[in-house]
């Protein structure tokens, strides 16, 4: 990407050098003082293009004393380009609006030919450089494209002045100059504003921050995003965020945060660094999920295929009914249990109460991964089931229940878990 930016900046350098020589030579041959002056203006553009190239090279140098990089050099160059645009607008206004001298053209075809060549080249290159600058997220290339556009506009003014004077209407030149100078100052002001925002560490756009927040919340273990902030530096973005994770495992939280950081870098371009600070979510309430049958009177023994899910919230020694949901995974062909687990996590469930273990160890691992406990009560009648849950509300780690069940099977025992799965 850096090599691409350097190549485009070099194109700008050579273009401005060519236009400077073309205008000055054509101005001397045609006798057009305005064309010579415009050529001198292009020499300033040539110097500005050189500074853009130098800025891109310097911005991507790694220096020990600048741990966050020299990326803002691009924004400084953009700011310089903005003032160069202001100066160009001032020059055009001064030379045409306030000048008392009259142009005397000796060789009109040469002057017009040079101006049309300038207009064509600057128009095409400014469009190209603007497009590439946006693709590469380069503020200096975008600023340079606007600067080159002012060269095109000044050439149009020179052409208008030549033709206006030639046909005896010099007022046309002054009106055109006034309109174009306003456009030039507007472009310079926008570039200056964007550069100052980055230099002063203004926040990046809200749309990008919302996209980052949405990515983080797409992970079930991220219970809350406390803050997301970001700033730009040259072409790149630096992001910081604070999140709450629904797990007590430090290793699991580290792994999750690393995965989220990599995904954000992959999905959102030009992020140089992202730092996510995490802390465990304080569990303020215990919410149970019980798979139930259609009649809502019996506990369903087929975890992934059960038609409904009852949610209960523990308040002191009572269990309060929160809601009954349709199982969103019941009609799926594969992965029903995992899909149901993720759905329940999104509803704030932190304990699954069942009368038989779900088939397949994958569900047990999924519950463990999300930090969700399990309660095994081998009863089918829902009222009896809830009564026993009130008496013994404590949940266990799913893997502990599974390992106990496997141990019982291997020893030929008949524990509650074994009977429940028969």
Mind listing the pLDDT tens digit for each residue in 143-201? Answer: 778 878 877 877 887 787 777 766 766 676 566 667 667 766 776 787 788 778 878 87
Is residue 101 predicted with pLDDT exceeding 70?
A: no
Quick one: average pLDDT of 312-340?
83
Quick one: average pLDDT of 300-315?
87
Choose the final residue of a domain: 229, 256, 280.
280
Residues 326 and 189 in one domain: no
Per-residue confidence (pLDDT) for residue 246, from 0 to 100: 76
73, 234 Cβ separation under 8 angstroms: yes
Those residues whose C-beta lies under 8 Å from the C-beta of residue 19, and which sit 6 or more positions away, are 39, 42, 45, 118, 121, 122, 151
Is residue 419 predicted with pLDDT exceeding 50?
A: no
Per-residue confidence (pLDDT) for residue 180, from 0 to 100: 63
Per-residue confidence (pLDDT) for residue 276, from 0 to 100: 92
Number of domains in the chain: 3
Handedness of CA 326, 330, 332, 335 (dihedral sign): positive
Those residues whose C-beta lies under 8 Å from the C-beta of residue 213, and which sit 6 or more positions away, are 225, 228, 241
CA distance 380 to 386: 10
Using pLDDT thresholds of 50, 70 and 90, give the confidence band for residue 417.
very low
- pLDDT 10s digits, 265-276: 888 877 878 999
Q: How far is CA 231 from CA 208, 266, 409, in A?
A: 11, 18, 58
CA distance 351 to 373: 4
Choose the final residue of a domain: 199, 232, 263.
199
Is residue 352 predicted with pLDDT exceeding 80?
A: yes
pLDDT higher for 5 or 11?
11
Residues 114 and 223 in one domain: no
Per-residue confidence (pLDDT) for residue 308, from 0 to 100: 92
Of the ranges 54-68, 73-87, 158-172, 388-402, which is most confident? 388-402
Using pLDDT thresholds of 50, 70 and 90, give the confidence band for residue 215.
very high
Residues 249 and 142 in one domain: no
CATH of the domain at 262: 3.30.70.1350
CA distance 257 to 222: 9
CATH of the domain at 30: 1.20.1510.10
Please enumerate, as own/partner, the contacts of 39-43 that have beta carbons within 8 Å and a separation of 24 or more.
41/88, 41/91, 41/92, 41/151, 41/154, 42/16, 42/151
Provide the 10 A C-beta neighbour count for residue 21: 14
Please state the separation of Cα 251 from the chain's center in Å: 28
Residues 181 and 258 in one domain: no
User: For the ranges 44-53, 285-294, 375-384, 386-395, which has the lowest average pLDDT?
Assistant: 44-53
305, 330 Cβ separation under 8 angstroms: yes
Query: Regarding beta strands 351-354 and 318-326, do their DSSP bridges make them parallel or antiparallel, or are they unpaired?
Result: unpaired
User: For the ranges 66-70, 102-106, 163-167, which has the lowest average pLDDT?
Assistant: 102-106
Handedness of CA 331, 337, 338, 339 (dihedral sign): positive
Per-residue confidence (pLDDT) for residue 209, from 0 to 100: 92
pLDDT higher for 408 or 228?
228
Residues 118 and 258 in one domain: no
Using pLDDT thresholds of 50, 70 and 90, give the confidence band for residue 107.
confident
Q: How far is CA 176 from CA 99, 164, 179, in A?
A: 15, 10, 5
Structure tokens at 282: 């304080």
Is residue 416 predicted with pLDDT exceeding 50?
A: no
pLDDT higher for 422 or 282?
282
Of the ranges 140-149, 207-216, 301-310, which is most confident? 207-216
Per-residue confidence (pLDDT) for residue 179, from 0 to 100: 67
Is residue 212 predicted with pLDDT exceeding 90?
A: yes
Is residue 420 predicted with pLDDT exceeding 50?
A: no
Per-residue confidence (pLDDT) for residue 410, from 0 to 100: 62
CATH of the domain at 388: 3.30.420.130
Residues 236 and 306 in one domain: no
Quick one: average pLDDT of 319-327?
88
Domain that includes residue 253, residue range: 206-280
Per-residue confidence (pLDDT) for residue 421, from 0 to 100: 40
Residues 338 and 216 in one domain: no
Structure tokens at 249: 């495992």
220, 56 Cβ separation under 8 angstroms: no
Residues 215 and 340 in one domain: no
Per-residue confidence (pLDDT) for residue 211, from 0 to 100: 92
Residues 238 and 127 in one domain: no
- pLDDT 10s digits, 235-248: 678 899 999 887 76
């Amino acid at each position: 990407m850096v090599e691409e930016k350097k190549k485009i900046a070099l194109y700008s350098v050579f273009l401005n050098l060519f236009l400077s020589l073309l205008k000055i030579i054509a101005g001397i041959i045609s006798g057009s003082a305005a064309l010579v002056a415009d050529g001198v203006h292009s020499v300033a553009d040539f110097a500005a293009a050189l500074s853009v190239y130098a800025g891109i090279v310097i911005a991507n140098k790694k220096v020990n004393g600048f741990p966050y990089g020299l990326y803002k050099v691009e924004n400084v160059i953009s700011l310089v380009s903005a003032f160069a645009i202001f100066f160009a607008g001032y020059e055009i206004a001064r030379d045409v609006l306030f000048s008392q001298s009259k142009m005397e053209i000796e060789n009109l075809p040469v002057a017009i030919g040079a101006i049309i060549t300038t207009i064509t080249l600057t128009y095409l290159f400014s469009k190209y450089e603007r497009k590439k600058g946006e693709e590469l997220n380069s503020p200096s290339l975008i600023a340079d494209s606007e600067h080159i556009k002012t060269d095109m506009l000044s050439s149009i003014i020179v052409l208008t002045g030549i033709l206006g004077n030639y046909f005896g209407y010099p007022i046309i030149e002054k009106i055109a100059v006034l309109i174009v100078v306003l456009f030039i100052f507007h472009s310079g002001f926008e570039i200056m504003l964007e550069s100052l925002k980055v230099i002063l560490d203004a926040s990046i756009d809200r749309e990008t921050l919302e996209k980052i927040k949405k990515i983080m919340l797409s992970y079930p273990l991220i219970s809350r995003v406390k803050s997301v902030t970001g700033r730009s530096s040259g072409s790149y973005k630096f992001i910081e965020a604070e999140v709450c994770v629904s797990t007590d495992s430090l290793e699991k939280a580290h792994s999750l945060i690393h995965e989220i950081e990599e995904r954000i870098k992959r999905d959102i371009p030009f992020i140089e660094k992202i730092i996510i600070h995490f802390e465990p979510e304080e569990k303020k309430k215990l919410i149970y999920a019980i798979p139930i049958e259609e009649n809502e009177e019996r506990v369903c023994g087929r975890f992934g295929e059960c038609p409904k899910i009852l949610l209960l919230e523990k308040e002191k020694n009572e269990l309060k009914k929160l809601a009954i949901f349709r199982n969103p995974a019941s009609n799926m062909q594969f992965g029903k249990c995992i899909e149901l687990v993720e759905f329940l996590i999104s509803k704030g469930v932190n304990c699954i109460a069942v009368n038989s273990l779900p088939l397949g160890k994958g569900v047990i691992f999924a519950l463990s991964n999300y930090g969700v406990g399990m309660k095994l009560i081998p009863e089918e009648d829902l009222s009896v089931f809830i009564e026993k849950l009130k008496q013994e509300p404590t949940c266990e780690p799913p893997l502990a229940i599974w390992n106990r069940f496997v141990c019982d099977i291997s020893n030929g025992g008949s524990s509650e878990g074994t009977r429940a799965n028969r």
